[in-house]
């Protein structure tokens, strides 16, 4: 790239944090990334990881007279820089220069330590002069590792006020110096590498901008140099919904408004210096927080755009090490200007207050400050109210240490009702006590104080209450709706979609997702009825979801993806006819309720059956399966009601196959077997290959489901197969042609039973210890014998219904009634 093309592109500022400059390898990687960048660039460097802590600790040892420890720290400082330089700087002359500089700086540091240990006094300005070398050496090192770059000491560029240890930059003066020193380098195509964190006051003394101050150096330089973008390279993927060290399932926030980020920073999320947003607020400069480790992910963009107003809660910030200072007294109501005088006193000590609380009774006012400053705060406020304390108007000023402030941050939050309530019910559920609450006047946060050791638990609970780990989390109120994801979208699925759309809206059941074998369609805010109908039509025309605006994915990936979203009371409904056991297990583990019309997952190996129910139990979810037996008839429901009311169901007998009922009742009335089977197929009662019904497989599965519900653990029944062995393997057409050869045999059977006042029925029987599926002869006048058509009949024999069983009968097949059975399960879940 020539200097001329570089000039035309927009300027960027890249800051590398301590973790990104941990050692020689990291520096080499940073240098390579810088060298590969195509446009004008200013780099800001923090000290190598841990070095600022080391220097501060050494200064502390020195002032306490522990020179041996201070010396040891100085040695470590020197050797770590040597090692990093030897590994990252390839040019020999440049390496020699850097090593000489490391040695010079370490010697100077030792001298400062000695001076401090003699004086036994450590002023903030001295400490700043001691710690500034961390950045000075890292920036030199990085510049030498890059090659086509130049070290720039911020002491020559960044002007600040004289608040040592936490200085504020002076923007206009810094602007003049930056233009003088940095602009010419840029126009020559050189990358300036500037020390972060440090600056110089007007009196010439060295200052630091407060811990984490390199973030501020970067935004400051972007402002004064007119950059378009600042990138902060860190050891996290970006700004997360909470500190991942405390809340492990914190999620990356892709976009955040300037003000929201400022709030997150202000409340102590270490990821951004508290004042880093000040130089760029009100500008169009974008700030990106990105992963040094994984530069392929885009990270967080902090912008001037307002994002996602529907999800007011964006993040939590947790500020540990706080003390609550309280001014209290019954006479306070009458005292003039308490708040103003309190904060004037605190301000006079240059203490920074994180949160202010005022009790509704007005008999106390409180604020939080850093624990280390609590005593000073108490002393200065007590002094300000000396007179009122003497006269008893104010009881006193006290500090409670060991506290943490947790701020719930998001734009427009304080104006959204229900947030505080949700925070507090989450805390209450965990038995956590809130010491104080402040609703920020900014409308961008609600903060509360808890005992520090409870802060991680509190943060996790509030994080979970707003579903912040999920995409679309952060809604103000807990949603009461039930979100349905459909597995399979055939006739039953469509009937269900219609019935859901026709539900009373107070039920708040929505379809949010559809899956077929090609992929899925998902909308967290609900798929409209019109869209569902359109999809149904297109599916009828043979198309697949992936080609209808859906996403191509396997079912497992699709479910996992949906579970990532802030869906509310999610239910997965299986209307396929496939072996979906593993998939449903995954869904239950991901927190979905499971509703089945599909029998296969419940009629497979008993181990997978138990696993599914076990998984649901551990995640507090339910598995419901009303539609697997008798379609919409309340079979499972009746069983549960009997048992819940103290009855014991001893056995269940049922004609549970519509096809078999149709065929057997028709031949009992004198029709040939072949004609009955043909009509069952033509009317769509039977499967396209009627042998699936005639084999008794399907009825057998239903029997097993009923038996398992009653506590049966044994093997599946071997159902009576109505297809003779020699016809089982024939192609379908050949089988249909052979049907009339069976007519005579069936006619004989029917006539024999008829003569004894009996008719043939296919009956499944289930008890807690047995299960069977048989062709049997029953009395003509019995309920089963009297039934015709596709009717299902299920009878319960229980302690209460011993002599005369409780019989449920009705249509047991068809899309509409099956969907009704499913809907019954969904509504039961949503009513919980």
Residue 18 or residue 329: which is nearer to Mg ion going by CB?
Answer: 18
Residue linked to tokens 């181990």: 607
- Residues with a known catalytic role: 702
β-sheet bridge partners, residue 461: none
- The interface partner of residue 160, options being ligand ASP, Mg ion, ligand ADP, none and the CB cut-off 5 to 8 Å by kind, is none
- The interface partner of residue 313, options being ligand ASP, ligand ADP, Mg ion, none and the CB cut-off 5 to 8 Å by kind, is none
The candidate with the shortest Cα–Cα distance to 522, out of 499, 496, 555, is 555
Task: Give the x-and-dash track for 541-560 against Mg ion (CB under 5 A).
Answer: --------------------
Residue 143 or residue 476: which is nearer to ligand ASP going by CB?
Answer: 143
User: CA-to-CA distance for 166 and 261, rounded, in angstroms?
Assistant: 20
Nearest approach, Cβ of residue 135 and ligand ASP (Å):
6
The candidate with the shortest Cα–Cα distance to 496, out of 762, 282, 742, 816, is 816
Judged by CB under 6 A, the stretch of 13-21, 135-143, 612-620, 723-731 that binds ligand ADP is 13-21
- The interface partner of residue 269, options being Mg ion, ligand ASP, ligand ADP, none and the CB cut-off 5 to 8 Å by kind, is ligand ADP
β-sheet bridge partners, residue 649: 798
Task: Give the x-and-dash track for 42-81 against ligand ADP (CB under 6 A).
Answer: ----x-----------------------------------
Nearest approach, Cβ of residue 224 and ligand ASP (Å):
18
The SS3 call for residue 772 is strand
Burial of 634 (0-12, 13-18, 19+ CB in 10 A): middle
Residue, CB closest to ligand ADP: 17
Residue 17 or residue 274: which is nearer to ligand ADP going by CB?
Answer: 17
The contacts of residue 595 (CB under 8 Å, 6+ apart) are: 571, 572, 573, 574, 623, 624, 625, 627, 822, 825, 826, 829
| Number of neighbouring beta carbons within 10 Å of residue 124 | 16
The contacts of residue 707 (CB under 8 Å, 6+ apart) are: 714, 766, 767, 768, 770, 771
User: CA-to-CA distance for 237 and 329, rounded, in angstroms?
Assistant: 48
The SS3 call for residue 508 is coil
**Angle of the 815-830 helix axis to the 491-501 helix axis, nearest 10:** 50
The candidate with the shortest Cα–Cα distance to 26, out of 2, 6, 47, is 47
The contacts of residue 776 (CB under 8 Å, 6+ apart) are: 760, 761, 762, 763
Residues of this chain, 93-112, that bind ligand ADP according to CB under 6 A:
none
- The interface partner of residue 196, options being ligand ASP, ligand ADP, Mg ion, none and the CB cut-off 5 to 8 Å by kind, is ligand ASP
Q: In angstroms, how far is CA 785 from the centroid of its own chain?
A: 56
Judged by CB under 6 A, the stretch of 44-52, 635-643, 651-659, 684-692 that binds ligand ASP is 44-52
Residue 15 or residue 691: which is nearer to ligand ASP going by CB?
Answer: 15
Nearest approach, Cβ of residue 275 and ligand ASP (Å):
12
Position 207 contacts ligand ASP (CB under 6 A) = no
Whether the CA torsion 454, 459, 464, 469 is positive or negative: it is: negative
Total number of residues binding ligand ASP (CB under 6 A)?
A: 13
Position 47 contacts ligand ASP (CB under 6 A) = yes
Position 196 contacts ligand ASP (CB under 6 A) = yes
Residue 242 or residue 555: which is nearer to ligand ADP going by CB?
Answer: 242
Residues of this chain, 186-215, that bind Mg ion according to CB under 5 A:
212
Contact (Cβ atoms closer than 8 angstroms) between residue 763 and residue 653: yes
Residues of this chain, 84-143, that bind ligand ASP according to CB under 6 A:
134
Maximum C-alpha span of the chain:
120
Tokens (6 digits) for 797: 């024999």
Nearest approach, Cβ of residue 213 and ligand ASP (Å):
5
Task: Give the x-and-dash track for 213-252 against ligand ADP (CB under 6 A).
Answer: -------------------x-xxx--xx-xxxx-------
Position 169 contacts ligand ASP (CB under 6 A) = no
Element (H, E) at 223: helix 214-225
Position 314 contacts ligand ADP (CB under 6 A) = no
User: CA-to-CA distance for 826 and 815, rounded, in angstroms?
Assistant: 16
Position 20 contacts ligand ASP (CB under 6 A) = no
- The interface partner of residue 245, options being ligand ADP, ligand ASP, Mg ion, none and the CB cut-off 5 to 8 Å by kind, is ligand ADP
Element (H, E) at 737: helix 732-738
Residues of this chain, 198-217, that bind ligand ADP according to CB under 6 A:
212
Nearest approach, Cβ of residue 46 and ligand ASP (Å):
4
The SS3 call for residue 642 is helix
Residues of this chain, 256-275, that bind ligand ADP according to CB under 6 A:
269-271
- CA angle, 565 as apex, 561 and 569 as ends, to 5°? 110
Position 366 contacts Mg ion (CB under 5 A) = no
Residues that bind ligand ASP (CB under 6 A): 17-18, 46-47, 52, 134, 196-197, 211-215
Residues in contact with ligand ADP by the rule CB under 6 A: 17-20, 46, 212, 232, 234-236, 239-240, 242-245, 269-271, 315
Interface residues toward Mg ion, by CB under 5 A: 212
């Amino acid at each position: 790239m020539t200097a001329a093309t570089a000039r035309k592109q927009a300027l960027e500022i890249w800051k590398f944090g301590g973790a990104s400059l941990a050692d020689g390898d990291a520096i080499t990687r940073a240098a390579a990334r810088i060298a590969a960048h195509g446009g004008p660039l200013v780099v800001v460097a923090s000290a190598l990881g841990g070095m600022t802590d080391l220097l501060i600790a050494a200064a502390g040892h020195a002032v306490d007279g522990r020179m041996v420890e201070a010396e040891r720290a100085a040695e470590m400082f020197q050797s770590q820089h040597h090692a990093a330089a030897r590994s990252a700087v390839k040019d020999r002359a440049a390496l020699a220069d850097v090593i000489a500089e490391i040695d010079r700086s370490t010697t100077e540091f030792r001298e400062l330590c000695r001076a401090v240990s003699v004086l036994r006094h450590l002023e903030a300005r001295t400490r700043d002069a001691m710690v500034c070398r961390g950045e000075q050496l890292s920036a030199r090192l990085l510049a030498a590792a890059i090659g086509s770059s130049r070290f720039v000491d911020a002491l020559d560029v960044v002007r600040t006020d004289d608040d040592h240890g936490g200085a504020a930059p002076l923007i206009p003066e810094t602007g003049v110096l930056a233009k003088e020193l940095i602009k010419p380098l840029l126009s020559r195509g050189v990358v300036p590498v500037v020390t972060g964190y440090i600056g110089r006051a007007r009196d010439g003394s060295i200052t630091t901008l407060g811990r984490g101050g390199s973030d501020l150096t970067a935004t400051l330089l972007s402002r004064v140099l007119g950059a378009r973008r600042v990138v902060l390279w860190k050891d996290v993927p970006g700004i997360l919904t909470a500190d991942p060290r405390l809340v492990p399932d914190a999620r990356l926030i892709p976009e955040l408004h300037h003000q929201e980020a400022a709030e997150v920073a202000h409340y102590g999320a270490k990821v951004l210096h508290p004042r880093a947003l000040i130089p760029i607020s009100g500008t169009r400069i974008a700030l990106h927080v990105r992963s040094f480790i994984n530069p392929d992910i885009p990270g967080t963009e902090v912008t001037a755009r307002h994002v996602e107003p529907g999800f007011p809660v964006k993040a939590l910030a947790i500020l540990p090490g706080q003390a609550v200072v309280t001014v209290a007294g019954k006479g306070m109501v009458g005292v003039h200007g308490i708040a103003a005088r309190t904060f004037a006193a605190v301000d006079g000590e240059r203490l920074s207050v994180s949160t202010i609380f005022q009790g509704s009774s007005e008999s106390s006012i409180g604020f939080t400050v850093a624990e280390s400053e609590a005593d000073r705060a108490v002393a200065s406020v007590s002094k300000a109210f000396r007179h009122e304390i003497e006269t008893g108007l104010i009881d006193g000023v006290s500090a409670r240490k060991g506290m943490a402030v947790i701020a719930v941050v998001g734009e427009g939050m304080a104006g959204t009702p229900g947030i505080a309530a949700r925070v507090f019910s989450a805390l209450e559920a965990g038995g956590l006590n809130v010491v104080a609450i402040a609703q920020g006047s900014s409308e961008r946060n609600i903060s509360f104080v808890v005992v520090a050791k409870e802060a991680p638990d509190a943060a996790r609970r509030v994080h979970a209450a707003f579903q912040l780990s999920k995409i679309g989390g952060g809604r103000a109120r807990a949603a009461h709706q039930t979100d349905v994801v459909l597995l399979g979208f055939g006739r039953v699925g469509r009937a269900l979609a219609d019935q859901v759309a026709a539900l009373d809206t107070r039920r708040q059941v929505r379809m949010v997702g559809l899956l077929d074998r090609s992929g899925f369609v998902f909308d967290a805010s609900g798929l409209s009825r019109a869209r569902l109908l359109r999809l149904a039509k297109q599916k009828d025309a043979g198309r697949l979801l992936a080609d209808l605006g859906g996403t191509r994915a396997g079912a497992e990936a699709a479910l996992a993806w949906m579970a990532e979203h802030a869906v509310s009371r999610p239910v997965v409904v299986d209307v396929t006819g496939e072996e979906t056991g593993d998939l449903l297990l995954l869904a239950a583990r991901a927190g979905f309720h499971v509703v089945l019309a599909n029998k296969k997952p419940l009629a497979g190996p008993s181990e997978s059956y138990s696993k599914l129910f076990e998984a649901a139990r551990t995640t507090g979810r339910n598995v419901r399966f009303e539609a697997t037996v008798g379609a919409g008839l309340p079979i499972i429901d009746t069983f549960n009601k009997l048992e819940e009311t103290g009855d014991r169901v001893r056995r269940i007998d049922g004609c549970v196959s519509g096809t078999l009922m149709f065929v057997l009742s028709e031949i009992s009335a004198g029709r040939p077997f072949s004609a009955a089977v043909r009509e069952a197929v033509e009317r769509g009662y039977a499967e396209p290959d009627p042998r699936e019904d005639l084999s008794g497989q399907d009825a057998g599965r239903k029997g097993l489901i009923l038996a398992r519900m009653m506590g049966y653990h044994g093997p599946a029944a071997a159902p009576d197969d109505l297809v003779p062995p020699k016809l089982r393997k024939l192609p379908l057409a050949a089988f249909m042609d052979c049907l009339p050869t069976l007519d005579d045999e069936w006619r004989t059977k029917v006539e024999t039973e008829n003569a004894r006042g009996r008719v043939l029925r296919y009956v499944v029987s289930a008890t807690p210890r047995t299960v069977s599926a048989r062709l049997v002869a029953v009395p003509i006048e019995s309920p089963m014998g009297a039934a015709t058509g596709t009717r299902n009949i299920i009878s319960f024999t229980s302690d209460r219904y011993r002599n005369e069983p409780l019989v449920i009968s009705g249509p047991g097949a068809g899309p509409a009634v099956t969907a009704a059975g499913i809907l019954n399960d969904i509504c039961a879940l949503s009513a919980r």
